[in-house]
Chain A
Amino acid sequence: MSRRETKPLNRAPHRTFAARFLVLVGVVAVLVPLLPLAAPSEVRLEEKLAPPSFGTLWRDGFEPDRIRDPGPLSRVLIDARIAVFGDGQLGPLLGTDALGRCLLSRLAWGARLSLAVGLVASAISLIIGVLWGAVAGYSGGRVDDIMMRIVDILYALPLMFIVIFVVALLRGFRNEHPELETNQIIVLFAVIGATSWLTMARIVRGQVLSLRGTEFMDAARAAGSTNLSILRRHVLPNVTPIVLVTLTLTIPRVMLFEAFLSFLGLGVEAPDVSWGVLARQGFDALTAVHVSAWLILFPGLAFASTLLAMNVLGDRLRDATDPRLRGDRR
């Protein structure tokens, strides 16, 4: 088994490269506050729409107060950063946007939010989907029928449109009452996560159903294991590979949806930045008289390379876990 599993990996160096790239993006996203970057919302109107250049590599003037309510972790990292770099910061190496904000810094901070949306929403869908699928498949019979019927009905609904509808309704309410501090990002997590668990539930249920007939499950039951302990010790470990595969393919989908919502003005709001917001701003800068290609080029590149790496990694995991789809058969 191990020989077969390692063979395709060795033959595909670009796939391990994808994994390394993702780790790099993840580390950058977590450690952004530690890096000597300008504050993402630091406006310098005298530098607006400056093209990428290495003219100013390093300069002073970091303003930690411009980073809007950082969490406890970010605060520690920012303190550490100030201890190391003082108020020095990198110049706008990738250019600036219409308000003179540093694109490099905004890309790095955007990675944080985009990845967070992808991970948290996928985690929500993972929890709901695995529980739903495992319970349905394990219970079988009438319970299974009803639970999967509910999934079927939800599948038939145009969930995307209902999500957009709900988010737009809430956004309209927010626009009229800006004094209410509702956190749009949490709404985003919840709504995306709550609507993308269906595929996961189906896959897990199918897997659990096929496990039910196996002998080691009968043995576990005969040995007096409770349902809960069978689920935990025998069922979950066996569905983990396929769940991981589905998860790696869910994250890019969720990130695309976030970008889509942000483009429509329904997702992440200023002053927060995500890659979707940056792509939107880059697009707006493009249609203006003054063509600033870097504003769409770099967010687009960041987005596409990250999603590409995730898709490649997901494919690789699928190939490794599903012998039927393995590429060496013809």
Chain B
Amino acid sequence: MKYSRSLIIGAILTLFFLGAAAVSFVWTPFDITLLDIPAKLQPPSLAHWMGTDQLGRDILSMVMMGARTSIAVAFLAVGIGMGLGIPLGLLAAARHGSWLDEVIMRGNDLVFAFPSLVIAILITAVFGPSAVNAIIAIGIFNIPVFARLSRAGALSIWSRDFILAARVSGKSSARISVEHILPNIGNLMIVQGTIQFSLGILAEAALSYIGLGAQPPTASWGRMLADAQTLAAIAPHVALVPGLVIVFMVLGLNLLGDGLRDLLDPRVRVVRA
């Protein structure tokens, strides 16, 4: 099987950031809890590959630590979305046309009226800002995404004859959902999962930028940008580096998603065969 260029580039970028986050647990070039005010706002050099920030911390080390936060928040938020959304979607599809289906779908529409930022604002206003609240806010917004998609995917599978054959063989709709529907929409969910992961990275960055995400001393790309805002004119690298890091991470995930879709989508494969 031939792998597409976007799949390879996307996988490399994604693995690179995952690797950086993993390495940060055992090693970073500098300790980011140590401040070195005399060495503040240095441009990139051999010692500090990405320069230093306004407190003299090594930006590369900050980026590595920030990758941990971003990935953890986005990953858990996708987990919440998949874990609750897919069962809801499967249930709605299995009871297609019933009041239950209607309630689930109307509920989805309603959640869509609360953009993740608004959910985050509500949660923060009551419970205060934290990374956990960011995860919950982004996760809640992911639920209807997966619920809708899995319902649509499941409905197209439910209309196939092999489902009727399974029903004639006495299988319950719950069993059919797990045995026949889920494996056939799995690819779709993985592809959407990558896309939501990248949206999660962006949302986490936005939330920490406005102070509703991870709190100090946890490193986060969004807050690095918030700190850099007033310094952009005198030390552009402080603002450029975290932004570019976000762009590459998101780009990598999106390319990976596109590549996976081409690889896994049976329609495309039929054409190639």
Please determine whether chains A and B interact with each other in the same assembly: no
